[in-house]
Amino acid sequence: MPTTLNLFISYAREDENIADAVRAALTKALPTPLAYVEMDKYTIEMGVDFATNIQEKLDRAHVLILVHTARPKLSFGWTGQELGYFRAQKKLTPTLDDIERRIVFVSLADAPPGTEMLNGVRVTISSEDLDRSQDEYAQGLKIGNDDAFVRFLNEMQGVVEDIWRKEKYQGTPPTRERNPVECTKDMYVEIFRSQKAGEDVARSTRPQKQLTIETSDSELQAWLPDLPPTALMSAGSAAGTMTVFGLPEGNLTWKDFCAQTQGRKNGGVWTDAIRAVVTSTLPDQISVDNGQVIFANDDGKMYRVILTSGLRYFDGTRKFTIYLVEGLRRTEFGREETSLLLKGLELVCRYRFMFLEADSPFIDENIEVTPPDKLYDRATSAMRELDWLKRDARHARLDDTVVWGRMLGGYELVKKIALAYGANEPAVMAAALAIIKSRREPDKLPDLRAKLATAVRALADATNEVNREMMVCMMDRLRRYVDEESMKVDKAAAD
């Protein structure tokens, strides 16, 4: 059987276009049947055992060509296996058909892992090149006989010519009509075309950062309303996720995350936001809490915390994918006092609308007549609204008693609301959580409903009067500020 130079192209699917360009250059420069270029998508038949077929082709190969770029790839790939197998075969059989076996890489980045000591071809196409048109690039391309890929093609053509002479073919070897320089130029242009259609990473913007949290059903239920200490947090492919929290990149448990962020200025906000977003999906809710907003460790950038998926697997595994999407911070105008008063008044009014007004779904009378099948949603909503009050207070810088003392003209009302709310809010949260955890135990719901109604009634009784006093006080102060500003305007006009 006549000798054929066999070349095997090993590549990852992410680099397929580059591998196609390399194959095209090889088939142009090396005539069939004197040379044959193996590339799985063209030469492996349907229905065969893929791994066995690959090994058989590597057994026959004289040259293994590794195609490599810096594109992110799956952790499992065939290229590493193909390199390892061919290396072992090359060690056993360094020469095949009187042809020295060799490994060559064609890379758009550094040498592929495991080939650092080998000679190869580094294709360099800069971002400045990619700013040009394909015609401009082709016209400016300077490829000579000293180019690494041209030298490789010349060497392969030399092997083919040796085969030609060995097999005693007549006439001039067909390689004489195939110019390695032109074949290499065509390859560069094809690679350029492929890269031109790719992403300009240096000038692209990815305002979102990905965070994945993995745990189990049983652990989630056991630790509600918190997340399990063993829940594993990991960043996505976009770099810089953990830097939002002032932490180094890498995986860590929820317990470690809480411990490492506890002393940070925004640490409590971060943990509350992530916890609220994840637990708002349980069990398998559609109305997810995607309203959480956090600020980065340096207090510069603002991110909205968005849950894009909450997956449950048959083995009980739970996996939550969260994106931190960068947003713009709203600029505040005018006097700081009036801005704070308005935000504070909004919080005080929202609380009143929730727990103190007759039309609210959260007043005790309404809870007492809530049907059992609606009670879970009512408890979930109550917990969510209380969490939102805390979140909104933090975002408005109203989690500081000094600010409230300034807005209310002293600490008398601040002390009253702190004592009244602090003594009763935990009972509401505990009763609501008990209802959530008893979803599969409906016989417990009547007693739990009564406990939630009692807790809500106690909270309302304790806070009703002080809430009214706070509203009146803040509205009076806002009116005084407006009157003062109006007098200044009138005085300026009179002058």
HSE, CB side, 13 Å, CA atoms: give it for residue 237.
Answer: 6
What fold characterizes domain 5-201? Answer: Rossmann fold (3.40.50)
pLDDT of residue 75: 42
Looking only at Cα atoms, what is the longest distance across the chain?
A: 113
Where helices occur in 124-214 by DSSP H, the ranges are 127-130, 134-140, 148-166, 180-196
pLDDT of 383-407, one tens digit each?
Answer: 888 888 887 887 777 888 999 998 8
Q: What is the pLDDT of residues 160-196, one digit of tens each?
A: 999 999 988 888 888 888 999 999 999 999 999 998 8
Q: Give CA–CA dist 413/467, Å, rounded.
A: 9
Q: List Cβ<8 Å contacts ≥24 apart for 240-249.
A: 240/209, 241/209, 241/210, 241/211, 241/324, 243/296, 243/297, 244/209, 244/294, 244/296, 244/297, 244/301, 244/303, 244/324, 245/270, 245/296, 245/297, 246/297, 246/298
For residue 202, the model assigns a pLDDT of 66
Q: How far is CA 301 from CA 150, 177, 333, 400, in A?
A: 50, 62, 19, 22
Give the closest residue to 58 by CA, choosing from 29, 33, 36, 83.
83
Token look-up 């800069």 returns 126
Nearest CA among 221, 280, 228 for reference residue 254? 228
Q: What is the pLDDT of residues 92-117, one digit of tens each?
A: 999 999 999 999 999 887 766 666 66
Which tokens hold the place of 83? 């390199």
Q: What is the pLDDT of residues 303-341, one digit of tens each?
A: 899 999 889 898 889 999 999 988 877 777 778 888 889
Q: Please give the Cα distance from 469 to 153 (Å, whole number).
A: 88
Q: Who wins on pLDDT, 376 or 255? A: 255
Closest CA to 59 of 90, 23, 33, 84: 90
Provide the terminal-to-terminal Cα distance of the chain, rounded to the nearest Å. 110
* Interacting residues of 330 by C-beta distance below 8 A, sequence separation 6+: none
Q: Are 272 and 390 in contact (CB under 8 A)?
A: yes
pLDDT at residue 206, rounded to an integer: 67
3-state secondary structure of 16: helix
The pLDDT score that the predictor gives to residue 86 is: 94
Number of other CB atoms surrounding residue 229 within 10 Å: 15
Model confidence, pTM: 0.55
The tokens describing 43, both together, are 């030469």
Position 46 confidence tier, pLDDT thresholds 50, 70, 90: low
Domain boundaries, the chain: 5-201, 205-331, 335-495
pLDDT exceeds cutoff 70 at 47 = no
Residue 76 is predicted with a pLDDT of 43
